[in-house]
Amino acid sequence: MSGEGAAQSNSAASSVEFRNATKRYRGQAADALEDFSLTVEAGEICVLVGPSGCGKTTALRLVNRMVELTDGDILIDGESVRRRSPAELRRRIGYVIQQIGLFPHLTIGDNVGVVPRLLGWDRQRIQRRVQEMLDLVSLPADMRDRFPAQLSGGQRQRVGVARALAADPPLMLMDEPFGAIDPINRERLQNQFLRLQSEIRKTILFVTLDIDEAIKMGDRVAVMQQGGVLAQYAPPAELLMSPANDFVEDFVGADRALKRLALTRAGDVELRPVDNGLPFALVRDEAGRPVAWERGGERLAVRTVGCDESLRDVLSELLLAPLALGAVIDAEGRVQGVLDVELIHQLLERESAGRGAA
């Protein structure tokens, strides 16, 4: 994604604090959200995850006062949300939902410019900002004159993100934003959004039902259970390695070791040296790039691994490869070392032993 729009952004990210936030709907005996407390640091993605009906979306809507608190408080940069009118609050908070919510009778450009118009920006400033936002989410300029029905689901979702960012809010709320997208485009959107976040560093509250998405997207993950109770709030690695209770352990899943591998990049591992006890010799060109595996005149193709590839993806490919060795390369294609299934297994064993010792 282009950094042009990001370069124009100058709004600092906001911290968000839930202080014993409680919501009980009229006529209901039980709370939708009960005594909910956590802090989201400025510039972080906090993912709220849990089964249907556990209060995730309620917590999100309390922040912009689409739903009103029964008790407790929510503070943005130390100031209670109660101190601002709902309309003023919502104009300063980006909001992205699963159904996207674009106005079908407005062009894409007009959809993106909705909040700046409400804030009284002049026409030229709005046009510049719309173009910056389309560039930022990698949509072509000619798309601004189309209507939502003329776009694919993934394109409409990117327009939704552009609209939420148009007024440069310090805080974004995202309610299952990729839930209605097919798996291939969903992964692409996730990756694009994470790259975008690395540029703009907004504070984001992100709701999902999918624990894999939560682990991938979140700097910290809040696992919620029925009754609007916070079961655990932790970075993804801690959540996978040290579930707080049986509910979290079951929700995270029996394959949490594999999920943990998704958080580790090949470049983060102490790799095997290229010329130390491997069953095949690695043939390299003059620049240090891998050419083939060789033994006794036999040559096999090399499976190369980028330093930023996750160990989960690497393991999946190595298990299916005729030679379960991966040559880890840097951005210039030079070999940095070798990964194999045994090395990944040893990493998991060390982490498991560390959890036991703790």
Q: What is the CATH number of the domain that holds 350?
A: 3.10.580.10
Note the pTM of the prediction, 2 decimals.
0.79
Residues of the domain holding 245? 4-261
Indicate whether 239 and 321 sit together in one domain.
Answer: no
Lowest-confidence range among 18-32, 72-86, 148-162?
A: 148-162
CATH number at residue 131: 3.40.50.300
| Alpha-carbon gap, residue 7 to 348, rounded angstroms | 40
Domain final residue pick, 216, 246, 261: 261
pLDDT band at residue 4 using 50, 70 and 90 as cut-offs? very low
In the prediction, which pLDDT does 262 show?
A: 84
Q: Where is pLDDT greater, at 18 or 176?
A: 18
In the prediction, which pLDDT does 213 show?
A: 92
Q: Where is pLDDT greater, at 161 or 74?
A: 74
Residue 148 has, within 13 A of its CA and on its CB side, a CA count of 18
Largest CA distance in the chain: 79
pLDDT band at residue 11 using 50, 70 and 90 as cut-offs? low
C-alpha distances (whole Å) from 178 to each of 40, 129, 181, 343 are 22, 24, 5, 34
Indicate whether 155 and 292 sit together in one domain.
Answer: no
Indicate whether 178 and 81 sit together in one domain.
Answer: yes
Judged against a pLDDT cut of 70, whether residue 78 lies above it is answered with yes
In the prediction, which pLDDT does 275 show?
A: 79
Indicate whether 248 and 273 sit together in one domain.
Answer: no
Which residue carries 């943990």 as its tokens? 260
Please choose, from the candidates 210, 209, 158, the residue with its C-alpha nearest in 3D space to the C-alpha of residue 185.
158
Indicate whether 237 and 331 sit together in one domain.
Answer: no
| Alpha-carbon gap, residue 99 to 173, rounded angstroms | 14
| Alpha-carbon gap, residue 159 to 164, rounded angstroms | 9
In the prediction, which pLDDT does 354 show?
A: 58
Please give the average per-residue pLDDT across 7-30, as a whole number: 83
| Alpha-carbon gap, residue 32 to 58, rounded angstroms | 7
- Residue 83's CB: how many other CB atoms inside 10 A? 10
Instruction: Write the pLDDT tens digit of every residue in 202-251.
Output: 999 999 999 999 999 999 999 999 999 999 999 998 999 889 999 999 99
- Residue 189's CB: how many other CB atoms inside 10 A? 19
Domain final residue pick, 240, 261, 282: 261
Domain final residue pick, 211, 246, 261: 261
Query: Which of 67-71, 301-305, 320-324 has maximum average pLDDT?
Result: 67-71
Which residue carries 């330093």 as its tokens? 307
In the prediction, which pLDDT does 357 show?
A: 53
Indicate whether 247 and 318 sit together in one domain.
Answer: no
In the sheet with 45-49, reading across from the earlier edge strand, the strands are 93-97, 171-175, 203-208, 45-49, 220-225, 229-234
Please give the average per-residue pLDDT across 311-328, as a whole number: 86
Indicate whether 31 and 127 sit together in one domain.
Answer: yes
Judged against a pLDDT cut of 60, whether residue 8 lies above it is answered with no
Instruction: Write the pLDDT tens digit of every residue in 149-169.
Output: 999 888 888 898 888 888 889
**Mean per-residue pLDDT over the chain, rounded:** 88
Indicate whether 160 and 302 sit together in one domain.
Answer: no
Indicate whether 292 and 199 sit together in one domain.
Answer: no
Indicate whether 17 and 154 sit together in one domain.
Answer: yes
- Tally: H helices and E strands in the chain: 14, 16
Lowest-confidence range among 64-78, 95-109, 322-336?
A: 95-109
Indicate whether 293 and 253 sit together in one domain.
Answer: no
Indicate whether 118 and 245 sit together in one domain.
Answer: yes
Domain count, the chain: 2
The answer to whether 188 and 156 have CB atoms below 8 angstroms apart is no
